[in-house]
Amino acid sequence: MEYAENILGTIGNTPLVKLNKLTAELPCLVLAKYETFNPGNSVKDRMALQMITDAEEAGILKPGGTIIEGTSGNTGMGLALAAVVKGYKMICVISDKQSKEKIDILKAMGSEVHVCPTDVEPEDPRSYYSTAKRLATEIPNSWYVNQYDNPSNTKAHFLSTGPEIWEQTDGKVTHFVVGVGTGGTISGVGSYLKMKNPNVKVWGIDTYGSVFKKYHETGIFDKNEIYPYITEGIGEDILPKNVNFDVIDGFTKVTDKDAAVYTARLAKEEAMFLGNSAGAAVKGLLQLKEHFTKDDVVVVLFHDHGSRYVGKMFNEDWMREKGFID
């Protein structure tokens, strides 16, 4: 018999799938690391489990404890899976721009969810960063995960996602392209691939309204770069410790409209029903066209599943209301 001891045993070992139509104008082979095959339907299951395991080993997370995290949904889902299996209480603190589906899913997985305003400074006591930190001081036997600065986030991708991509491509991968939020995925995978082959190029996808690209190019944290945007999961108004700028060769920014339009096209043209950072990543790839040659093997990572965006990128009224389609 072949079975997993519990659902956590099914995390990782996701497939690599060729893109055939949307990137046909590129000269290279484009392969998608398809992370929706994880049990929580996103890449975040990997780092959630790693962060919990490391906290248990360090004695920070104790039996019967409460896990608290500020999360846009996917990390919350990954943490919630592990919390259910391992017997912890889970509290997710989320910003109000996140889709209702994400909130309902977290509740379905037994989490308590606190919704905070998006348009406030990170230091504001109402922000989701501040609220998560405050709850962790008020609730006894609780642990604030802090995926932004927690090194186990990057470690998970260095130990699993990176090696999988290296092995699945027989070491032929030449470029890794991925959306950047906490930075765990790009830093962990990027440093693993560069350790195996220093010539591998690593590109980050950023959004308009986020600080990453400008900071990478100038070393300046420019507050003028910060304004509200629609794309979920990528871009930040802070510099998380998990973004290792040294392993990143460059960033390209993708507009909210392009991210939404390409997410819808991924479903219609590649039969890939994915979240909106996947659309951003595909458009980013096309923007990077001049960097690729015919022998290149480009791996792009798709973080999460389309089901969390049915009221948004997959809803024509929403797309029209935002001016993304005529």
What 3-state DSSP class applies to 274?
strand
Among 32-40, 76-84, 228-236, 318-326, which window interacts with ligand PMP (CB under 6 A)? Answer: 228-236
Smallest distance, ligand PMP to C-beta of residue 198, A = 22
Please choose, out of 111-119, 178-186, 219-227, 284-292, the segment that lies near ligand PMP by the rule CB under 6 A.
178-186
The Cβ-side half-sphere exposure at 271, using a 13 Å CA radius, reads 3
Are 282 and 258 within 8 A, CB to CB?
no
Q: How many CB atoms lie within 10 A of CB 178?
A: 28
CB of 303 to ligand PMP, least distance (A): 3
CA of residue 31 relative to chain centroid, distance: 18
Minimal CB distance to ligand PMP: which residue?
Answer: 233
CB of 315 to ligand PMP, least distance (A): 18
Catalytic hit among 33, 44, 102, 194: 44
Number of H helices, E strands in the chain: 11, 10
- Determine if 277 is a binding residue for ligand PMP (CB under 6 A): yes
The answer to whether 303 contacts ligand PMP (rule: CB under 6 A) is: yes
* Pairing status of strand 297-302 against strand 29-34: parallel
> In the stretch 104-143, what mask flags binding to ligand PMP with x, by CB under 6 A?
----------------------------------------
Which one of 52-60, 95-103, 183-191, 287-295 is the stretch in contact with ligand PMP (CB under 6 A)? 183-191
Give yes or no for residue 234 binding ligand PMP (CB under 6 A): yes
Buried b (16+ CB within 10 A) or exposed e, 129-168: bbbbbebbeeeeebbbbbbbebbbbbbbbbbbbbbbbbeb
Among 95, 185, 210, 252, the residue binding ligand PMP under the rule CB under 6 A is 185
Residue type, 164: E
Please say whether the beta carbons of 233 and 303 come within 8 A. Answer: yes
Tell me if 306 contacts ligand PMP by CB under 6 A.
Answer: no
Site for ligand PMP (CB under 6 A): which residue of 40, 70, 162, 233?
Answer: 233
Closest approach of ligand PMP to the CB of residue 184, in Å = 4
202 binds ligand PMP (CB under 6 A): no
The DSSP secondary structure of 101-132, one letter per residue, reads HHHHHHHHTT-EEEEE-SSS-TTSTTSHHHHH
Q: Is 150 in the site for ligand PMP (CB under 6 A)?
A: no
Query: Does residue 180 bind ligand PMP (CB under 6 A)?
Result: yes
User: Where would I find the H helices in the chain?
Assistant: 44-57, 74-86, 100-108, 128-138, 151-156, 162-168, 184-196, 212-218, 256-270, 276-287, 316-321
Contact of 160 with 82, CB cutoff 8 Å: no
Site membership for ligand PMP, residue 275 (CB under 6 A): yes
Known catalytic membership, residue 44: yes
User: 168 or 244: whose CB is closer to ligand PMP?
Assistant: 244
Residue 232 vs 270, nearer CB to ligand PMP: 232
Q: Which of residues 72-101 bind ligand PMP (CB under 6 A)?
A: 72, 74
- Alpha-carbon dihedral angle through residues 170, 160, 30, 191, given to the nearest 10 degrees: -90
The answer to whether 191 and 158 have CB atoms below 8 angstroms apart is yes
d(CA 73, CA 181) in angstroms, rounded, equals: 13
Residues contacting ligand PMP: total by CB under 6 A: 17
Q: Work out which of 182, 191, 207, 210 binds ligand PMP, going by CB under 6 A.
A: 182
By CB under 6 A, residue 46 contacts ligand PMP: no
Residues that bind ligand PMP (CB under 6 A): 72, 74, 179-186, 232-234, 275, 277, 303-304
Tell me the catalytic residues: 44
